[in-house]
Amino acid sequence: MEFGTGNTGFMLMATALVLLMTPGLALFYGGLVGRRNVVAVMMHSFVSLGLSTILWYAVGFSLSFSGDVGGVIGNLDWAFLNGVSISDAWSGDGSIPIYLFFIYQMMFAVITPALITGAFTNRIRFGPYLAFLALWQLFVYYPLAHMVWGGGLLADWGVLDFAGGIVVHASAGMAALGAVFYIGRRRAAERGPHNIPFVALGAALLWFGWFGFNAGSELAVDEVTIVAFVNTQLAAAIAAMTWLVIEWRREGQPKLVGLLTGAVAGLATITPAAGFVGPGSAAIIGLVAGAVCYSAVQLKERMNWDDALDVWAVHGVGGTIGIIMLGMFASLSVNPAGADGLFNGGSAFFGKQIAAVLGVGIYAMFITYAMLAAINVFSPVKTSQSDEETGLDAALHGEPAYE
C-alpha cells in the first residue's frame, strides 16, 4: 500500500536518532568511570545493540505488540517477523509501514537495559551480564511494553506513557536499585570521572537523540510532534540549570558533570509527558526534575547505596515523577488522544498514574534482584576483588582503554 512519505521519512530519522543514543550512553558512562573500566562499561551498551536486536527480531516485537495473553504479554504470532509483510501498515492512520514501527521500537528495547548498567559498573562479570540482558527483557521490558503500548492491561486501564516513563526510565532505574542491593558495593575505589569530555560528548548525543525518542513517539508529523519536541528542550534545559545552581550553591563551584546530569534528568522526566502537556507544564517538570533528582543523589549517598552512576536517582526517580506529573498536568487541549490530569479535573487519571508507576517500580526492582540471584546459581555474577583492583578492561576483556 502507499505510505505517507513525510511521516515515513521522519520516523526513519527518529529511529536513527534513538539508535545513536546507545553509543551516546556508552560515552557518557565511559567518561564517568575510572580509567581501568572504560571498555567494560562501554561494552555493556554496545553489546545490547547486538543481542537486543536479535532478541527483538526473534520474539521481543511479537511478545510486545502481537496478540494478548491476559493483558500482560503478547503472543508469538510475529516471531521472526513471521506473517508480517513489508507492505503492511502499522495501526492508526496507516501512514508508516509496520517494519518501520518494528525497528523504531527496537531501539527502545536496546537502550533500556543498557541504562541499568551504570548502577553496577566495575563489578559484574560479562557472561552473567549477557544472561541478565536477555532475561530482563523477557521478564520485564517486553511485558511492560505490551501492557502500556501494546494494548495490555495498563493501556486498557487508561494509564498513559508517551515515550517511556514507565516502560523505560522507571523500570530501568528501579531495576538498577535492585541490582545494587544484590551485587553490593565496589571493593576498589575510584576517583570519579576520568574523562569529562567523554561525558559531555555522550550527553550531547543523548540530548540530540532524545528528540527522536520523544517527538518520534507520536509516529507522525503533526502538532503533537512539535509540542513534544519543544517540551523536550525546555525540560532538559531548565533541569540542567536547576541542577547547576543547586550544586553551585552547595559546593561553591559550577560543575559541568552536574549540568549534564541535570539535563539527562530533565530528559528522562519529561519523556512520559512530552506529548500530553503544554510548554508551561514542561517547564515546571524540568524545574522539579533538576531539584528532585539532585536530592535523590544526595539521599543515595546518605543511604550508602553504591549506584555508581546514579541510574536510580536520574532515571528511576525522574521517570517516576514524570509519570506522576503527567497525571497532574495532562490536558486534552494539547493532545485529544491523551487525558485531563489532576489540575484539569482528572483526579481518577492521576491516581492511576501513581498506582501504575509504583507497581511497576516495585516489580522491576524485585524481579531484577531475583533474576541476578538465579543467574548467580549457575555462574558468579560479581567479579573477584583482584579483578576489580586490576580493572575490568584488562581482567575481563584484555583491552585496556589506555596503555
| CATH value at residue 279 | 1.10.3430.10
- Mean of per-residue pLDDT scores for the chain: 96
What pLDDT is recorded for position 2?
Answer: 61
Question: Is pLDDT at 123 greater than 70 in this prediction?
Answer: yes
Q: What is the DSSP letter of 160?
A: -
Question: Is pLDDT at 145 greater than 80 in this prediction?
Answer: yes
Residue 36 lies in a domain: yes
Residue 363 lies in a domain: yes
Residue 136 lies in a domain: yes
For the chain, how many structural domains are there in total? 1
Residue 200 lies in a domain: yes
| Band of pLDDT at residue 188, cut at 50, 70 and 90 | confident
24-51 exposure pattern, b = at least 16 Cβ within 10 A, e = fewer: bbbbbbbbbbbebbbbbbbbbbebbbee
Question: Is pLDDT at 56 greater than 90 in this prediction?
Answer: yes
Question: Is pLDDT at 4 greater than 80 in this prediction?
Answer: no
Q: Which domain holds residue 213?
A: 5-397
**pLDDT (mean) for 65-77:** 97
Residue 402 lies in a domain: no
At 382 the three-state DSSP class reads: strand
Tell me the pLDDT tens digit for each residue of 325-360.
999 999 999 999 999 999 999 999 999 999 999 999
Residue 180 lies in a domain: yes
Residue 270 lies in a domain: yes
Question: Is pLDDT at 323 greater than 80 in this prediction?
Answer: yes
Question: Is pLDDT at 69 greater than 60 in this prediction?
Answer: yes
How far is it between the farthest Cα atoms of the chain? 61
Question: Is pLDDT at 1 greater than 60 in this prediction?
Answer: no
Residue from 101, 104, 103, 105 nearest 92 by CA: 101
Residue 403 lies in a domain: no
Measured over the CA atoms of residue 294, residue 295, residue 300 and residue 301, the dihedral's sign is: positive
Question: Is pLDDT at 22 greater than 70 in this prediction?
Answer: yes
Tell me the pLDDT tens digit for each residue of 353-385.
999 999 999 999 999 999 999 999 999 999 999
Question: Is pLDDT at 113 greater than 70 in this prediction?
Answer: yes
